Amino acid sequence: MNRRFLSVVAGLVLGVAVQAQENPEWKTVFDKMNTEIQHNSKAYSSLKTATETIGHRLTGSENGKKAEEFAYNLLKSYGFKDVRYQPFEVESWSRGELTVKIGPDASSLQSVKSVSLAHSPVQASVQLELVDMGNGLEEDYLENPGKAAGKIAVVYLGVLPGSKPGTKSLHRSEKTALATKYGAKGIIIINTATGGILLTGTASVTGKLIPIPAVCIGKEDGMKLKEQMAAAKQIALINMTNFSGLIKARNVIATIKGKTIPQEKVVIGGHLDSWDLATGAIDNGIGSFAVIDMARTFQALKLRPARTVEFILFMGEEEGLLGSRAYVDEAIKDQSIRQLRYMLNYDMTNDPKGFSTTAEESRELFTAIGAHALAYDTSYKNSFRVGAGLHSDHQPFMLQGIPTGGGAEGKLPNNAGPCYHADCDDFKLVDEKGIKSTVRNGAMLLYGIADAKVIKAKQFSDEETKAFLLKNNLKVPLEIAGEWRWKD
């Protein structure tokens, strides 16, 4: 049997499988979506207005409240009648003052440019010896038992050059948890971005205060410090004050009721909040305002797929997935969790060239939708990626066995990567063409799932969820975070 014949047969089989899920009017719907978004998208202009008039969108701050109201009013202006706030009360954190000084002895300490990591103590003052703990992974501590006890650990944010092949990094919060576990009284994390850029973000795996001060310093200062530590003893003085207390925040939710299967629900979300060092244009303005514009597109075209669709702007993602946890907790409480068929998450997504998901069963459906996207963008690759990670708003849904996904194979615009969680995350980094592409491909994926004749991906049982997380090597970070609920 020749290769060409096999290819034709495979194509016919795929076509039959796709037809079982696809509705015939999709091409017409997607054509209208493309035209509407190319000519009338408001994602870029709305994000520009938000960054200029609100600034940062820190959860619990006055700016955070303004952002919630901005999103709510925007959705109302697009004609949504079913828009609501979902309030939740959480422990919030904001930075105060920080001093970091380093030197070989107390008489020769020199100030080092630094920034506090979120959920550091409300007040801390330590002056202790520094110890180089490499990548800050458990193996680094096990190789040197007791080395970090009573000292300040210095660790690299990513994986250091020269590390053994295959070394996998951990989140900054997990590295902080390990430093605490092995007795460190403080932690200094070296950023991976060059140019003296400082990174902020949470150092807590729980979203609550940590017992030790955690700070970030720039890569150049950090690598120089490692050399100094190798040559001679170094000590550091860390003085900090911060604020922590219960605050009220709100997710913003707009709903379109399903036409024929309203009891089933597809959720799409992106976190509206940002850190306070800049305006959060990339993290996560491009994701959250793309979601708002997907909602605008559905409303403008009066689209009503078979299943109910919820567009959610989450608050509190940066401080520990607070808004998405609140949503899932409420869904468990009122038992609507069983209605959720898919959760799509858009976090720093830009100009995607394919789709990602936790469910291999969605390959036919996702690539069928992607095949339509090729008609509008010849650079689109229709790639399909299956896998799982943590530390964004899909996580609480995934831990309940709900299939999650979103855009994939995109690229951040204008070399924005180093500005992640940094003071250079500004609107000038945003690319209008890229955000329009995110809106179009995301809207197509959302409609395709919500209107599919069959969604093969099922919500996992508890044991299936455990097996899935094990398969994706997520047990260790979840154990560190205290979120591994299974007894082996």
**The domain boundary residue, chosen from 216, 242, 268:** 242
pTM of the model: 0.92
Q: How far is residue 38's CA from residue 167's CA, in Å, rounded to a whole number?
A: 43
**The domain boundary residue, chosen from 213, 242, 271:** 242
**67 pLDDT higher than 50:** yes
Q: Is residue 168 part of a domain?
A: yes
Q: Which two tokens stand for residue 272?
A: 């509206």
The percent of residues in the chain predicted with pLDDT above 90, rounded, is: 93
Mean pLDDT of 171-193: 98
Are both 77 and 101 inside the same structural domain?
Answer: no
Task: Judge contact between 457 and 401, C-beta under 8 A.
Answer: no
pLDDT at 20: 53
Q: Is residue 3 part of a domain?
A: no
92 band by pLDDT with thresholds 50, 70 and 90 = confident
17 band by pLDDT with thresholds 50, 70 and 90 = very low
Mean pLDDT of 151-174: 97
Query: Over the chain, what is the mean pLDDT?
Result: 94
Q: Per-residue DSSP letters for 359-425?
A: -GGGHHHHHHHHHHHTTT-TT---EEEE----SSTTHHHHTTT--EEEEES---GGG-GGGTTSTT-
Task: Judge contact between 194 and 201, C-beta under 8 A.
Answer: no
Are both 411 and 316 inside the same structural domain?
Answer: yes
pLDDT at 3: 39
Greater confidence, 56 or 19? 56
Are both 55 and 174 inside the same structural domain?
Answer: no
Find the domain containing 170 and state its range: 96-242
Are both 415 and 461 inside the same structural domain?
Answer: yes
pLDDT at 8: 39
Are both 283 and 344 inside the same structural domain?
Answer: yes
Q: What digits encode the pLDDT tens for the residues 296-345?
A: 999 999 999 999 999 999 999 999 999 999 999 999 999 999 999 999 99
Long-range contacts at 38-44 (CB < 8 A, ≥ 24 apart): 38/436, 38/440, 40/300, 41/293, 41/296, 41/297, 41/435, 41/436, 41/439, 42/293, 42/296, 43/289, 43/290, 43/292, 43/293, 43/435, 43/436, 43/438, 43/439, 44/289, 44/430, 44/432, 44/435, 44/436
Q: What digits encode the pLDDT tens for the residues 365-394?
A: 999 999 999 999 999 999 999 999 999 999
pLDDT at 2: 47
Q: What digits encode the pLDDT tens for the residues 99-122?
A: 999 999 999 999 999 999 999 999
Q: What digits encode the pLDDT tens for the residues 55-64?
A: 999 999 999 9
15 band by pLDDT with thresholds 50, 70 and 90 = very low
pLDDT at 239: 98
Quote the number of domains for the chain: 2
Domain CATH for 168 = 3.50.30.30
Element (H, E) at 441: helix 432-451
Are both 327 and 471 inside the same structural domain?
Answer: yes
Q: Is residue 5 part of a domain?
A: no
pLDDT at 11: 41
Among residues 181, 122, 125, the alpha carbon closest in space to that of 153 is found at: 181
Mean pLDDT of 69-98: 96
pLDDT at 98: 98
Q: Can you name the residues that pair with 238 across neighbouring β-strands?
A: 100, 126
Task: Judge contact between 347 and 419, C-beta under 8 A.
Answer: no
**1 pLDDT higher than 50:** no
Q: What digits encode the pLDDT tens for the residues 262-302?
A: 999 999 999 999 999 999 999 999 999 999 999 999 999 99
**46 pLDDT higher than 60:** yes
Mean pLDDT of 454-465: 97
457 band by pLDDT with thresholds 50, 70 and 90 = very high
Q: How far is residue 455's CA from residue 268's CA, in Å, rounded to a whole number?
A: 16
14 band by pLDDT with thresholds 50, 70 and 90 = very low
Are both 338 and 194 inside the same structural domain?
Answer: no
Are both 214 and 294 inside the same structural domain?
Answer: no
Are both 207 and 128 inside the same structural domain?
Answer: yes
Q: Is residue 488 part of a domain?
A: no
Are both 212 and 107 inside the same structural domain?
Answer: yes
Q: Is 229 exposed, middle or buried (0-12, 13-18, 19+ CB in 10 A)?
A: middle
Q: How far is residue 43's CA from residue 103's CA, in Å, rounded to a whole number?
A: 48
